[in-house]
Amino acid sequence: MNKYESIIIIGQNVEEEGINALISRFTDLINNHGKVSEVTQMGKRKLAYEIGKNKEGFYVLFNFEAKPEFIAELERNYRITDDIIKFIVVKKDEE
């Protein structure tokens, strides 16, 4: 299993309940295929540029371990979730 870091940006119109639901949904998805070591809610921040009429977004950072095959499935789930406006998954270097 490799270590990964993923940041998602949730749209500005999503309420706190919706944000918590998305976080628990993706935490469960990752835990089914690997192991989440940390979830950090970075809060609402101003975006560098407007994305689909969003000027702000709620940032969430996931640190986790998973098999490389799972990353495509995770990114597919990010893409089909309407409330997520941007995401990135990065493999962390072995220390």
Q: Which domain holds residue 68?
A: 2-91
Contacts of 80 (CB under 8 A, 6+ apart): none
Q: What is the CATH number of the domain that holds 84?
A: 3.30.70.60
pLDDT in tens, the chain (95 residues): 899 999 999 999 999 999 999 999 999 999 999 999 999 999 999 999 999 899 999 999 999 999 999 999 999 999 999 999 999 999 998 76
d(CA 9, CA 44): 9
- The total number of structural domains in the chain stands at 1
